[in-house]
Structure formats: C-alpha cells, structure tokens
Amino acid sequence: MSRRNAIRAGAGLTLGALWSPGARSQAYPARPVRILVGFGVGGNGDVTIRVVADKMASRLGQPWVIENRPSAGGVIASQSLLQSPPDGYTLMLAASSNVAMAPSLFNSLSFDPAKDFAPVGLVSRFGFLLAVNSSSGIRSVADLIAQAKARPGALNIGTTAVGAAQYIGTELLKAVAGIDIVPVPFKTSGDAAVALRSNHVQVIFDNIPPLMPHFQSGALRPIAMTSAERFPGLPDVPTVLESGLRYEFGSWNGLVAPRGTPDEVLELLNRELRSVVQLPDVVEKFRALGAVPATVSRAEFQRFIEDEIVFWRKTLDIARIPKT
C-alpha cells in the first residue's frame, strides 16, 4: 500500500465511505466546476475550452464555469490553481506556454508544472497565423522578411502577453529568419487586432478565431499559417514552410488539476474528456478554429508534458530567449 493510500485508509470509515469507488462516481461533481484560463477571452484556448466545457457540463450534470485570468505566461492562473483544494472542482487550461515553456521563461516561477499539476488530458493541437493590415504592402512571408531586413527594428509585430505562445513564436520566427522586428505584447488577441487595424503594429502573430471576423470584413489580410499544413478554413493561405523558411510552430491545449486530486476523479474527467473531443459536432467546431482534437490517457499526458518541458528548454535556449 502506498503512503498516500495508507493515509487515506487511516482516515476512518466515514471518509472511506465518502470516497469509495461507487460513492465517488455518484458524488462528483456535486457542484459547479471552475476552469481557470490564464489567457484573454477569444483566443484559441479560451474558445476551444468553452466548447468542451459546455459538453462536459451536460454529461456530468453540473455547470463548468470559465474564469479568465490573463497574465504573462498564464502564471496568475497557475498560482491560483495550486492554491485551490485538490478536489476536482478547480481545473486549469494547460497550454504549451503556461506549462511547457514557463519553467524556461521565468526566474521566479514558484512551481514545477511537471510535479505540481495533475494531468487530466489533452484537448487539441493547433497552429497560428501571420496577418497584416489590408492596406499593407506586405503580402507574403518573403515580403515581411525583405522589409524587416531593409529596415531593422522598424516593424512592430503584435502578440499576446510575454510568455504566451504567440510571443514565443514571434521570437523564434525572428531567430530563424534572422530579422529584427519588435514584439509588442497585448493583454488579449482582440487588443492586438485593433492595434493592427489602426496600424500601431504592422503585422500580428495570433490564433485564427479572433482574426477571422477581420478577414471577413476585409480589414486584415492573412499571409501565412505557422503550422505544417494549410488551414481548411483559409485554403488559399500558404504555410511559412511553403515560403522556403524552415519554420513550423504550433501549440496545444489540455486540462490539469492541483496535484493530490483523487485518482478516481481524474480518471472520470479523462474518460469524459476523451469522449467529448471525439463528438462529431465538437470535431467540426474545432476544425473551424484550426484545431485538431487530441486524446491521450493521463499517463500519456504526463509524459507529454515532461517531454515538452525539455523540448522548449532546448528550443528557447537555441533562440536565445532569456528568462525574465
């Protein structure tokens, strides 16, 4: 018997009855489940987790409440998760930026994502877009690189907060292309899009969902996808790879809980999550967002997180992105 199970066993008959396998499946969830999102409203992670939350709420019989707490690297949401009881009623949207990249970006990080978060499961994988104002003379990645090299430091590129995937993707693009463009971080994707429309920045690196209305209105123009393949919703937009630049950048979303959350609760959540992301209407909604559903076990997700932390430590070091 493990030390954790021994402690539980010694807690007495009442606690044992409350958390017995049969009683636990009936008892959880008995009240609303809170989902912390360390990024602004409207981004890919925010939109996809809302799709999932609606389905999970219907299947489990309790509301799933989204709570946005945007900050650099999603750190505020992470800290709030770790201060929450490990009872399954507070979960967090996990992403490459706030889980895999954060340990290599922040000197004062007070937690270890690989040890302090309990994996629930993956949700989706997705790429990003480079876009410009429709009045811009930049019509391709080649144009962007040419202008940036002709006027080093003159072009501003809008991203979300420092430590977010968009910001890291921008820094990697600079390193791979050998260009000097200035990242301008915004609190939300919506703020960055407004800045691009008003020409306060000349290009933007962001998720697909918050930019689509601006493409449809004709105010903004997409020039490239950062993923390995084109996005079906914008079939005429090439990838950065197609421009000849060896650059590919994507991200992922999942759910984590505080370490110590009961295994039976985590298994229930993983099982339901894997079913939800494979529902035909969810797959279709994800596809419209440029996202691909992802299903893994809890153990596979744990290994995935550990591998991602190592990968991004090496990648950020190569790109010479310093800790802050």
Question: How confident is the model over 186-220, as pLDDT tens digits?
Answer: 988 889 999 999 999 999 999 888 898 999 999 99
Give the pLDDT of residue 240: 97
Question: How confident is the model over 255-296, as pLDDT tens digits?
Answer: 999 999 999 999 999 999 999 999 999 999 998 888 889 999
The domain ranges of the chain are 31-126+252-318, 129-243
pTM score, two decimals?
A: 0.75
Nearest-angstrom CA–CA distance, 251 and 192: 19
Nearest-angstrom CA–CA distance, 119 and 114: 9
Pairing of strands 156-160, 182-186: parallel
Cis preceding linkage at 29, omega within 30: yes
Q: Which CATH class is domain 31-126+252-318?
A: alpha beta
Give the pLDDT of residue 2: 40
Nearest-angstrom CA–CA distance, 150 and 154: 9
Residue 254, SS3 per DSSP: strand
CATH superfamily of 129-243: Periplasmic binding protein-like II (3.40.190.10)
pLDDT along the chain (324 residues), means of 10: 38 36 65 95 88 97 96 88 97 93 87 95 94 96 97 95 82 93 90 94 92 94 94 91 92 96 98 98 90 94 95 83 80
Task: Check if 31-126+252-318 and 129-243 are the same fold.
Answer: yes
Give the pLDDT of residue 165: 82
In Å, the largest CA–CA distance within the chain is 74
